Structure 1
């Protein structure tokens, strides 16, 4: 039976070569797209899952609201939280505070090498909560004291060429407060694990606490993230109810604004859900990167559906050639079930034949796909990958063959043996309906790509309230630079091509602190505002070109400016202040005078509205920004590197452009935009392949009719319009159905941005017109060819 079905399959291929080629190209292209999407999805959902092999880590979160209607969810907690939880809640097995701040990024130095590295500080139980295996060291002792450091296996190889015999060696951290030497107490395995947190070394929490000033050591500070594991049989929901009001009970407030909860309530979330479900709305976990996993799953399903529809349509359209075969089989005793399984096998063979072509396409496209997704995928033919590929292929074969199998197996022997096929109105519209559905999906793709690209262009071109162009930033590191920072900033401005320079802390892309502990004259008893805190040097505002609308900017000419403050317009409006210049406010327990008000500017992505903020002179700035004169960037950067080396011998001059940092906010959106463009092109190509095949079949099926029409006087142009018009109607119907759906899809995506483009009618009409144009170009060639055929060739056998 198997050999018989194989023979029939290859006989049909020989009879219908053009249909076979169209099916192979369509199915293999669709399979290739789905396989690449499957690689990306598998990688995304595996992130942080290796921790689940041991104790399941949880992260302590906090919900709070101030004078807004929305609840905000925060990861950062007080330094006091971890020891308090450990002391008062016996349900906790292990607990660890972690600081992921860039403040601990540094240069790891041995006698021979110096390398830039990302560091964090962590409590002593870090390797008990998280499942990073220690290659060397004792997990109970590696993070104790203030002078121990644990490095990754990758960093150990870079520094020492090996991971063995590392314990006890000393290393320097070239950072302003944390100079060594430090003792290497352990080496952890970083390679081979899918972790959302990227760090090269760990310092101890004791070191972090020794650097924290006493004013920050309180219950409303936000300095660390807290992770823990629970003992067996502890009910998480019950534990959440116990810790919910912990912070409020410790603060013992005399009052709290009515209807507000700015102290907040604590709860646990599974750490493994952080990467995919990191977004919260009104205190409820509501998505994150999982939205893109779902989106690309849907895109993969759509592309495969379009490819399967091609196979269905071409198989049913070519049914007339198999009517006698079906009739004879039924006469000799084959039942419908047998025929269904035969045609499902044939469609599965077609999918399996498409698989090698699809894998070849994937191998060609994988380098580009890795660059777009910032991943490192390879075609690793392990058992998991093989099962995944075969599963997708078999599913594709069964789905694509389901309708043809049901359709062909339903033919009646008395009709089929005469070589006739009684095609009902419903069957014709079933095929047309598949074409319409195919192009509905394609037009939605086209509209989405148009809107996404317009929005991305808007994000890149919108004025942010400051000039982000031609500004570079680099870390404040190296003893020479740190110890002579004022001189460094003064002299760097004399480098030809440098317009201005300043040290700073806030990265202008969302990396800012926050506080609601601000008091001002006229503040209501029940009033609370969450302020963003931007830290910078004296020339921070000038370097960025932020506009001052009232008062002045900071200046070294005023000795008191290190304790003065500047607010943005939104903050002044929120506080209800008139004539704010010269007024005194209280923040962090001290008094500061308002010397200026800036025009509103964006210090995070355009997903958010501009928040109330203030700018202060920060004594602990960790970065330097330099404004370059436009048109002289290359020469100026070369001079800056020479200047930098004078202060930091042996330290590499590594910098980023501020506008590149801004673009990094929209990495996910850019990924969607780029991949959507490729997938839309592929969807159009696959859809047009199907149209080409159907138009080819239509021209063959209606050959005699066309010849008679020409004999009776119709011109080639009239015949072409007649044949093309049938498909044009299907595309127009697809357009009318797809546009409302496309509007809902794109409007929902744009709602993620506080600032976005308006949807315009040309987005939708342009997509429909584009689909119609491409479709007509596809079927037009066949229509013209059929219309210009000599009638004698078709009618000579009559």
Structure 2
């Protein structure tokens, strides 16, 4: 019987090639979207699962209250690690203090490379379950040791065995390679960690780190833990809540620090905190794209249902004859499901080929390294299951509908479609266009939000501004002569150092005092150490006062604040006022807010102070009269004279653009899926228009004989579809407004939902509808009426 179903299904496909093509094309494209989204979701949901104990690993974080606002940070004080070992050691299997992951210079003889690395305590490799290719996970027990990734080993030592060989970190610290580990996969938070150096070595690198060992208020470090096998994450998090509060003085208790554990299984998808509450993060995109995948696949199923039921009159006699010779309804249902499953199987084969072709483009847009999981049984189980479900969904309505025909009525020729028989098809077409219009409006608003934020004034000139991260002290030591050489070369207008790059604020401080401050206020400022030429290099814009000047020796005790800081301190005329921050500083000037952190949030109150001991970042303003290629070549030549660091630079405009990467990726993915949804909907409309034109062949012929024009016939065949598109618009517009208005509330700096977006979507939907159905409408209208009438 099954073989018979397959034969009949194949004959029907061959007999009706156009409809078969539309169904297979629609289903395969819908399945492509579903599989791509499924692979993307798999990658997102499996983030950090490379680490075998990821469900028991956590980062120690803290909530702190600043002027009534609770803020959450991953930065913790140095002594917290020792205190937690002392008080709660039995509750944890591993506790690992860690630096932040930064770029460092690694050198072996004359070979030098720049790689990201982290200083961590000896248990880190064991906690992260690194896959050691050489050596063991105990390789950080010696202060003069280092573990390197396979890619670093290849870059520094080629094919030679690196074990026991010496390399230097930042041209200062000689360390011996005690292990080589497999490069961490792209979907881990530690992907950029290309080497691990001992924590004890980190303590010796800078005097301020040694001074921080007993400082409970310097939040400059990280702490990772793995809880004991018998411990519960939530209970343990509540248990350690007041560990810092018990150690700080009464004056600092007003910040109410609350320590807690943030599990590794939440780092990637549940990373956002508002008011001390974990509000989500990228998990919203899992829900969103999961829904898009279901809807796009549903659109393809709707095409199949519509075309199958629309052609029901043509298959009515077939059903009548089969029933009259003994076929029962269950057998007919099996036959129609067989046809549906065969089409789905063919679509699945086409789909896999299309997915393989689309993956490079998809990975570029999504910033992923996804591959088809050919050898993964779960992948095949999911694909085959969802193909089966797709086939059953697509074939359910046609199978139940077609098998219900009464053989007597059909064979007598008295069977006619009911006056309401077309309503289910019309409802499905409306649903298709509703989904497509919601996606169109949503995509436009996402890109509009990105562009709105990109157009926000940033408070400085990004063009021609580049930065160099200084891994060693070489450039800082020779800063004065380096600056003079670069400016005299004509390639550069100005150079400055700063403790943070222009696109972030790496340091925060509190406890500042100023005239009129509320004594109960818990303040919080961004603080950036700079050299005197910082303002002229960046091109910041003054609202009041002046910049630092070498003509005034007292400027060493001066500060420049941004306008948000002036408002935060409640000062209408802050220039000349004194701020106490360890010592007394005089406010020299107020600048316009510079967008240094999230472009979607208000600028943070920030203080810029002179600092002669800084390194960190070298900021360079390139002369616009010189080509960038020539300027970079000149800068590199001067750079080589004063340091052995590899010449590596970043453009400020690229770094600023990177802040939009997440939203841009989401927008591009949404646009891609929107185009696919429109394509599938158009396939369905084309098929329906083809069928309607075929069904009304005789009517069209008679109308032409009676004098109907081509335009009149085109309007006759097109108006029903336009009405359905308009109904879809009426439903889609309020839905899209609701969803996108809710999405925009996530951003404090956001665009408005303009009326023209809906007008554009409406015009687009109607135009797409007319373009899709016009081909068949005009073709039918141009047909010879004599042949049309003879055809039936």
TM-score, with length taken from structure 2 = 0.94
Cα 1:749–1:510 change in 2 (3 A) is farther
CA root-mean-square deviation: 2.2
Q: How does 1:702-741 map to 2 (within 5 A)?
A: 702-741=696-735
State the distance in 1 between where 2:19 and 2:55 align: 56
2:608 aligns to what? 615
Paired residues, number:
784
* Larger displacement relative to structure 2 (276-285 or 420-429): 420-429
Deviation at 1:330, TM superposition (A): 2.8
| 1:790 maps onto 2:788 in alignment | no
2:123 aligns to what? 125
Secondary structure, aligned partner of 1:740: helix
Structure 1 unaligned spans of 5+: none
State the distance in 1 between where 2:157 and 2:728 align: 64
* Larger displacement relative to structure 2 (225-234 or 16-25): 225-234
1:233 aligns to what? 230
Deviation at 1:419, TM superposition (A): 5.2
TM-score, with length taken from structure 1 = 0.94
Deviation at 1:708, TM superposition (A): 2.5
State the distance in 2 between where 1:656 and 1:364 align: 33
Cα 1:460–1:574 change in 2 (3 A) is closer
* Larger displacement relative to structure 2 (281-290 or 379-388): 379-388
Deviation at 1:560, TM superposition (A): 4.1
* Larger displacement relative to structure 2 (333-342 or 239-248): 333-342
Deviation at 1:512, TM superposition (A): 2.4
Deviation at 1:563, TM superposition (A): 4.0
Say if 1:98 and 1:122, in contact at 8 Å, map to a contact too: yes
Secondary structure, aligned partner of 1:753: coil
1:169 aligns to what? 165
For 2:137, which of 136, 139, 142 is the aligned residue? 139
1:325 aligns to what? 318
2:174 aligns to what? 181
State the distance in 2 between where 1:216 and 1:553 align: 32
| 1:641 maps onto 2:639 in alignment | no
State the distance in 2 between where 1:187 and 1:621 align: 31
2:583 aligns to what? 590
Deviation at 1:332, TM superposition (A): 3.8
| 1:45 maps onto 2:45 in alignment | yes
Cα 1:460–1:607 change in 2 (3 A) is closer
Cα 1:355–1:169 change in 2 (3 A) is same
Say if 2:365 and 2:665, in contact at 8 Å, map to a contact too: yes
Secondary structure, aligned partner of 1:250: coil
Structure 2 unaligned spans of 5+: none
| 1:547 maps onto 2:547 in alignment | no
| 1:154 maps onto 2:147 in alignment | no
* Larger displacement relative to structure 2 (427-436 or 110-119): 110-119
Cα 1:561–1:343 change in 2 (3 A) is farther
For 1:495, which of 481, 489, 498 is the aligned residue? 489
State the distance in 1 between where 2:473 and 2:610 align: 22
Q: How does 1:448-597 map to 2 (within 5 A)?
A: 448-477=442-471, 480-587=474-581, 589-597=582-590
State the distance in 2 between where 1:171 and 1:375 align: 32
Say if 2:106 and 2:168, in contact at 8 Å, map to a contact too: yes
Say if 1:324 and 1:418, in contact at 8 Å, map to a contact too: no
| 1:115 maps onto 2:113 in alignment | yes
* Larger displacement relative to structure 2 (149-158 or 765-774): 149-158
* Larger displacement relative to structure 2 (454-463 or 195-204): 454-463
Say if 1:256 and 1:526, in contact at 8 Å, map to a contact too: no
Cα 1:556–1:417 change in 2 (3 A) is farther
* Larger displacement relative to structure 2 (543-552 or 764-773): 543-552
Say if 1:137 and 1:185, in contact at 8 Å, map to a contact too: yes
State the distance in 1 between where 2:249 and 2:637 align: 56
State the distance in 2 between where 1:346 and 1:212 align: 76
1:12 aligns to what? 12
State the distance in 2 between where 1:460 and 1:186 align: 45
Secondary structure, aligned partner of 2:167: strand
State the distance in 1 between where 2:325 and 2:230 align: 66
Say if 2:91 and 2:227, in contact at 8 Å, map to a contact too: yes
Deviation at 1:634, TM superposition (A): 2.5
State the distance in 1 between where 2:742 and 2:753 align: 11
* Larger displacement relative to structure 2 (266-275 or 390-399): 390-399
